Amino acid sequence: MASSKVAVVREIKEELDVTVAVGDLIDTIEYDYPKFHLSMDCFWCEVKEGQLKLLEAEAAKWLTKEALDSVDWLPADITLIGKIKEAMEENQNV
């Protein structure tokens, strides 16, 4: 698990140019796309240093709990969105 958290910090720095503190595991996504299998650990993170810059992505936006369903999520992401909504409902500080 520690290596997954280190990877999250590295990837977020490379793709968004910020430093994050990695929190608890939300879930591990396992999904079979037509050409590959995805296994991805997903964590709660907090921006600790820097301003978000899209270095790899074309677009990004912050979403409220109510707006999470406004995005056309990839199939692997859909199960995770439900878990994020549940956590946000249980803890308004998430």
**The model's pTM:** 0.82
**Tens place of pLDDT per residue across the chain (94 aa):** 789 999 999 999 999 999 999 999 999 999 999 999 999 999 999 999 999 999 988 888 888 888 999 999 988 898 899 899 888 888 765 4
**Domains detected in the chain:** 2-90 (3.90.79.10)
Q: Which of 35, 8, 15, 29 is nearest to 76 (CA)?
A: 29
